[in-house]
Amino acid sequence: MLGNNFIALSPLLLLAGSSVLIMLLIALKLSHRTIQFASLFLFVLAFSSLFYAHDLFSHPIEPLLIVDRFSLFIMGLIIFSGLIVNILSYIYFEEKEESPKEYYVLLFLCTLGACVLAVSKHFISLFLGLEILTVGLYGLIAYLRARHYNIEAGIKYLILAAFSSAFLLFGMALIYLQTGSMEFLTIGQSLHSLTSLPPLFLTGLGLMLVGIGFKLAVVPFHMWTADIYQGAPTPVTGFIATVSKGGVLAVLLRFFIEIDGFRFKTLMLILISIAVVSMIIGNLLALQQKNVKRILAYSSIAHLGYLLVALIPGSTMSLQSVCFYLVVYVITILTAFGILIILSTKENDADDIESYKGLFWKHPLLACIFSVALLSLAGIPLTAGFVGKFLILAANLQAGFWLTAFVLVISSVIGLYYYLRIISKMFSGRGGVLLKEKRAYPIFYLISVIVLLTLTLFIILFGTYPSGLMYFVAYFQFK
C-alpha cells in the first residue's frame, strides 16, 4: 500500500520537491534562463507523473486525500496551466527590474496548493490546500514590488483572503458541530436520512460559501477581482484565473456531490441565485471598462457563473459539461492572457484597450489568436467556447432549468458587446500606440507564440470536432 501511496501522491510530491529544488538552484546563482528551463522540465515531469498515477483506480489516502480519475483530471488541468504560465512568464519578467527567479518557487507552491484542493476529501486538507495556494498568491500578486499597483493588489488580496478564510473556518466548525465529522463522505452520510438541512448546518454551509465564493470571485463576493486582475503581473493574473479557480471549483464540486447537495431546495436556490447574478452582473460591469485586464476580470466572473449554472442540474450530463467547460475556459483564458503578456512592455502592461488599435495590421497572427480566444469566450461557433455553452444549455434544458438557460443566453448576448469591442479595436484603422515586439529574446518569443498557436488550434479543434474531448471528459468525470 505504501508504494501505491507514493505513486498516487507523486504529482504532489514532485511539485513540492520542485519548489525546494528551484530554491537550491537559485542559491547556486544560476541564470534566469536556466531556472526557467529547469522549472519547465519539472512541470513536465509533474505532468507526466499523472500518467503513472492514472493506473490506480480511485485510491484513497485516509483520511485526508483521494486520488481518483476526477482529481487526476483536475490536477492535469492545473499542472498544465502552471506549465503554460511558466513558459509565458519568461518574456514578461526578464525585462523587469526585480530578480525573477523566486517567482518560480512561488509558482510551484501555488500549483501544489491547487492540486491539494483537487485531491482533498476532508476539511483539513481543503483548508491546507487553500492556504498553500493563497499564501503563495500574496507573494505572486505583489511580486513587482516597485509598482504601486502591485503592492495595492497584494494588500487587498491579503486582507480579503484572510477575511474569507476566517469565514470558511467558522463555517467548517459549525458543520463539524452539527455532523461530528470533517470528512465529506461522513458528512454526506449524516445528512442521508434528512430531507431538509438543519439550520446550524445551513449556516455553516453559508459561511463556507462566502469563503469559497470569494476564491471563485462570484457575485456578491467579486469586488476584489478587477483590481487584483489589473494590479497583478499579467502571468499571475492568468494563473489566478485558471489554477486558483479550477482547484476551488473542483473541491466545491466534490463536496457538493458527496453530500448530495442537489436534494436540498434551499441550497440549490442559493447556488442558482449566485450563478444568475454572477452571469448578469459580471457581463454588465464589463461593458464600460476600458482596461482589457479588467474586462477579462469581469468576464471571468460571468464565466464562473456559467460553470455554476452547468453544475446546477447535478446530472451526469451536467458534470460532464462542467468539466468540458472548465477545460475550454482554461485553454481560452490562458491564450488571451498569453497575448497580453507578449504585448506587454517593460513599463506597462498592454491592458489599455486603445493600445490594441490596428493590431491586426501590425501583428496579424497575434491579433488572430486573440480574436479566436475572445470569440471562444463569447461562445461563437467554430470555437470551443460554443460547444461548452451548448453543453451547459443542453444539460440545463434536459433537467428543465429553463430560467437559468435563458439567463445564460441573455447574458452571453450582453457579453458579446465587450468582446466585439476589443476585436473591432484590433481591426480598426492604423495608428494607436505602437506595440513593439520582444525582439530581445527571439527564442522565447518564438516559443511563446508557438504555445499560443497550439492552444488556439485546440480551441478550434474542440469547437469543430468536440467528440474527442467529450469522451475524455466522460472518462475522467466524477463517479
Partner 1 sequence: MILVYLIGLLMGGGVLALLMGQWNNSLPKWIALCTVSTGFILLLSFWIDQSRIMNTLLPETWMMEYRHDWISTFGISFHLAIDGLSLLLLVLTFFLGILAVLCSWKEVKERIGFYHFNLLWILAGISGVFMAMDLFLFYFFWEVMLIPMYFLIGIWGSENREYAAYKFFIFTQASGLLMLLAILGIYFIHGSNTGNYTFNYFELLGSDIAPNVAFWLMLGFMVAFVVKLPIVPFHSWLPDAHSEAPTAGSLILAGLLLKTGAYGILRFVLPLFPGAAQLVAPWAMLLGVIGIIYGAILAYSQTDLKRLIAYTSVSHMGFIMLGIFAFNELALQGVVMQLVTHAISTGALFIMAGMLKERLHTRDLRLMGGLWTQMPQMGASAILLAMASLGLPGLGNFIAEFLILLGAFKANVWLTILATCGLIFSAIYSLRLIQQVFLGASKNLDPIQDFSWREITLMASLLLSIIWLGLYPQPVINTVRPTIKKLEELFLIEKEYGHILINNKRIDSLPEKNVRQVKTELVPSNTHSYVR
Interface contacts to partner 1, rule CB under 8 A? 361, 375, 380-382, 386, 390, 393-394, 397-398, 405-406, 409-410, 412-413, 416-417, 420, 424, 427-428, 465-467, 470-471, 474
* Residue nearer to partner 1 on the CB measure, 291 or 428: 428
**Residue at grid coordinates 485586464:** 293
3 state SS of 67:
strand
Q: How far is the CB of 285 from partner 1 (least distance, A)?
A: 18
Q: How far is the CB of 114 from partner 1 (least distance, A)?
A: 30
Identify whether the C-beta of residue 428 lies closer than 8 Å to the C-beta of residue 358. yes
* Residue nearer to partner 1 on the CB measure, 106 or 395: 395
DSSP per-residue string spanning 275-309: HHHHHHHHHHHHTT--BHHHHHHHHHHHHHHHHHH
* Residue nearer to partner 1 on the CB measure, 11 or 379: 379
* Residue nearer to partner 1 on the CB measure, 160 or 394: 394
- Cα-Cα-Cα-Cα dihedral sign, residues 351, 355, 356, 359: negative
Q: How far apart are CA 162 and CA 463, in angstroms?
A: 40
Q: How far apart are CA 452 and CA 253, in angstroms?
A: 29
The distance from CA 115 to its chain's CA centroid, rounded to whole angstroms, is 12
Left (φ > 0), alpha (ψ -120 to 50) or beta: where does 201 sit? alpha
3 state SS of 221:
coil
Q: How far is the CB of 429 from partner 1 (least distance, A)?
A: 9
Identify whether the C-beta of residue 46 lies closer than 8 Å to the C-beta of residue 15. yes
Q: How far is the CB of 296 from partner 1 (least distance, A)?
A: 20
* Sequence letter at residue 278: S
DSSP per-residue string spanning 389-434: HHHHHHHHHHTT-HHHHHHHHHHHHHHHHHHHHHHHHHHS-S-SS-
* Residue nearer to partner 1 on the CB measure, 162 or 409: 409
Q: How far is the CB of 403 from partner 1 (least distance, A)?
A: 12
Q: How far is the CB of 71 from partner 1 (least distance, A)?
A: 24
* Residue nearer to partner 1 on the CB measure, 37 or 402: 402
The distance from CA 445 to its chain's CA centroid, rounded to whole angstroms, is 24
* Residue nearer to partner 1 on the CB measure, 175 or 426: 426
Q: How far is the CB of 378 from partner 1 (least distance, A)?
A: 9
